[in-house]
Amino acid sequence: MYPAAIQKLKHCLKNKVSTTQSDCYRASFDALKISFLPQAVIHAKVPEDIAIVLNLANQFKIPVTTRGAGSSLTGSATPIHGGWVLDMSALKKITILEKQKLAIVQPGVITEALKKAAEKRGLFYPPDPASAHFCTIGGNIACNAGGLNCVKYGVTRDYIIALKGYLPTGEPVSWGLPLRKFSAGYNMRDLWIGSEGTLGVITEATLKLIPLPQSRMTYLAVFQNDHQALVAARKFNHFNIIPCALEFLDETSTRCVAPKYLPKKFAGSSFILIDLDGEKDAVKKDFSHIKTWLKKETPDYLIAQNSTQRNRLWKMRRECSPSMFFYGDSRLNEDIVVPLDKIPSLINFVKKLSKDYDLTIPIFGHLGDGNLHANIMFNRKTPSQVKAAQSVLHHLMHKVIELGGAISGEHGIGLAKSTFFPLQHSAHEINAMLKIKQALDPNNILNPGKIFKPFSPWQYPSVPDKMPWDKI
């Protein structure tokens, strides 16, 4: 396939192009675990490599799928139409401009590495996907990642000041400048953010940093059951405290992740995990409110006394997603969002689905911003479970829309949610988006087959391989 194109590619990008079966296989799937083999993998080393790749791809009409860590849960990085995979993971330069409180980063930077580099200078990059220790900034921008700290600090988009990169047709562009105000022309920066690699390839991002909060407190509230936790959460809101994280782990989730980190009796309880940060005095002031709340609402709670204890609790939370394979070899991780007052309705609905269809559906996530992760677990080889998972997904997505919610809060649409995309947007809305795709990418080179084209993952086998971060 495309031998002339690959020959040219290899000629132009010496030692950066691989066509070995093992490299192509590794690039053939992401965390969705459905494999489509590409014909070549390009390991970009400098931004200019991208122009060469895109120019050739347009000339030969070859699909190009950009890839960072491959941690996309929706298949955004899966090369569904084959072609070339553009691996950006070697582009991982970080420059911190301390005085200006900015970071200039390449897309292959691991989110956690940026957070640490900022912290060393007393600065803070708030976006904090649970996958921060393996996902990349490029991927975070592509799907407008959120994470644990959004309730107070917002999402990736809120920290992006400027982007550099290439249009699908290969021309270099810059969107935005490191300025506090900018009102000169169309905002292409925000159009790129969240477009899942379909409208351009990012080679550099200028990110906003903020002063590192002086103080931090972590609390774990343990409830007998989910109902009790949700009632308590509603009361928490009355304090008008904005925590930097407010996470929920349901009974099913804790049964799986708690034993490794906490006394055995806590497994099967329902958790609310709270982080407060800010000025020392303010955090102290809030502490007294929260202690009252804890004492009143639950007999069992933990207050992390040091960073080791805190990290332990948050490690448990971060392990939720990869650990859920305990309940099945396959899962649908749905990062749905609903208005805050609709959270109990949603959770109850999920529990009912779980019972009706006899599937385990742990639900955990961001209670503070209404973005919950419903993990529909099933075994691929059990046809009845596959069928049940399909039905559960269908009902769940319709319910989310009925509650005024979004089918994705931070993962994006990719392949996994494309079937439900028309629930979220009208035909006119989707048509307008498609017109933009067509205008900027007339040859449909960049990440074709994503977002807009219904895809049924059920027809395809799941790869047996584990991602490096999968726990079980």
Show contacts with a copy of itself in window 290-349 (CB under 8 A): 335, 337-340
3-state secondary structure 137-198: HHHHHHCCCCECCHHHHCCHHHHEEEEEEECCCCCEEEECCCCCCCCCCCCHHHHHCCCCCC
Q: Considering the complex, what minimum distance in angstroms separates the CB of residue 71 from a copy of itself?
A: 15
- Pick one of 203, 320, 417, 446: the residue that binds a copy of itself (CB under 8 A): 417
Q: Considering the complex, what minimum distance in angstroms separates the CB of residue 374 from a copy of itself?
A: 15
With a CB cutoff of 8 Å and minimum separation 6, the contacts of 276 are 216, 217, 219, 241, 243, 244, 283, 286, 287, 290
Query: Contact at 8 Å (CB) between 132 and 216?
Result: no
- Pick one of 424, 443, 444, 462: the residue that binds a copy of itself (CB under 8 A): 424
> How many other CB atoms sit within 10 Å of the CB of residue 458?
11
Residue whose entry in the numeric block shows the structure tokens 């799937």:
29
Q: Which is nearer to a copy of itself, 92 or 366 (CB)?
A: 366
Distance, in Å, from the CA atom of 457 to the CA atom of 430, rounded to the nearest integer, reads: 21
Q: Considering the complex, what minimum distance in angstroms separates the CB of residue 213 from a copy of itself?
A: 14
Please report whether residue 153 would count as binding a copy of itself according to CB under 8 A: no
What are 95's two structure tokens? 């420059």
Q: Considering the complex, what minimum distance in angstroms separates the CB of residue 369 from a copy of itself?
A: 4
Query: Contact at 8 Å (CB) between 156 and 106?
Result: no
What are 103's two structure tokens? 């970071």
**Which range, of 52-60, 104-112, 149-157, 453-461, touches a copy of itself by CB under 8 A?**
149-157
**Which range, of 106-114, 301-309, 399-407, 454-462, touches a copy of itself by CB under 8 A?**
399-407
Under rule CB under 8 A, which residues in 17-56 are in contact with a copy of itself? none
Distance, in Å, from the CA atom of 256 to the CA atom of 325, rounded to the nearest integer, reads: 10
Q: Which is nearer to a copy of itself, 241 or 313 (CB)?
A: 241
**Which range, of 23-31, 46-54, 186-194, 305-313, touches a copy of itself by CB under 8 A?**
186-194
Q: Which is nearer to a copy of itself, 229 or 413 (CB)?
A: 413
**Which range, of 27-35, 64-72, 184-192, 462-470, touches a copy of itself by CB under 8 A?**
184-192
**Which range, of 17-25, 286-294, 307-315, 425-433, touches a copy of itself by CB under 8 A?**
425-433
What are 437's two structure tokens? 């795709």
365: β partners = 248, 372
* DSSP secondary structure of 322-351: HHGGGG-SEEEEEEEE--GGGHHHHHHHHH
* Residue 264 DSSP SS3: helix
Please report whether residue 413 would count as binding a copy of itself according to CB under 8 A: yes
**Which range, of 12-20, 109-117, 125-133, 185-193, touches a copy of itself by CB under 8 A?**
185-193
* Residue 71 DSSP SS3: coil
Distance, in Å, from the CA atom of 237 to the CA atom of 339, rounded to the nearest integer, reads: 14
Q: 171: exposed, middle or buried (C-beta count within 10 Å: 0-12, 13-18, 19+)?
A: exposed
Q: Considering the complex, what minimum distance in angstroms separates the CB of residue 371 from a copy of itself?
A: 5
Under rule CB under 8 A, which residues in 435-464 are in contact with a copy of itself? 435-440, 451
Q: Considering the complex, what minimum distance in angstroms separates the CB of residue 184 from a copy of itself?
A: 5
Please report whether residue 217 would count as binding a copy of itself according to CB under 8 A: no
Please report whether residue 287 would count as binding a copy of itself according to CB under 8 A: no
Q: Which is nearer to a copy of itself, 101 or 310 (CB)?
A: 101
Q: Which of 88, 89, 120 minimizes the C-alpha distance to 103?
A: 120
**Which range, of 2-10, 86-94, 431-439, 457-465, touches a copy of itself by CB under 8 A?**
431-439
Please report whether residue 472 would count as binding a copy of itself according to CB under 8 A: no
Order of all β-strands in the sheet with 64-67: 17-18, 40-43, 84-87, 64-67
- Pick one of 183, 288, 306, 308: the residue that binds a copy of itself (CB under 8 A): 183
Query: Contact at 8 Å (CB) between 268 and 255?
Result: yes
Q: Which is nearer to a copy of itself, 285 or 387 (CB)?
A: 285
**Which range, of 24-32, 130-138, 146-154, 377-385, touches a copy of itself by CB under 8 A?**
146-154
Please report whether residue 432 would count as binding a copy of itself according to CB under 8 A: yes
Q: Which is nearer to a copy of itself, 39 or 195 (CB)?
A: 195
Q: Considering the complex, what minimum distance in angstroms separates the CB of residue 215 from a copy of itself?
A: 15
* Residue 261 DSSP SS3: coil
Q: Considering the complex, what minimum distance in angstroms separates the CB of residue 157 from a copy of itself?
A: 8
Distance, in Å, from the CA atom of 19 to the CA atom of 43, rounded to the nearest integer, reads: 11
Q: Is the dihedral of CA 197, 62, 19, 43 positive or negative?
A: negative
Q: Which is nearer to a copy of itself, 154 or 268 (CB)?
A: 154
**Which range, of 251-259, 301-309, 350-358, 405-413, touches a copy of itself by CB under 8 A?**
405-413
Distance, in Å, from the CA atom of 8 to the CA atom of 417, rounded to the nearest integer, reads: 36
Q: 442: exposed, middle or buried (C-beta count within 10 Å: 0-12, 13-18, 19+)?
A: exposed
**Site mask, a copy of itself, residues 342-381, x = CB under 8 A?**
------------------------x-xxxx----------
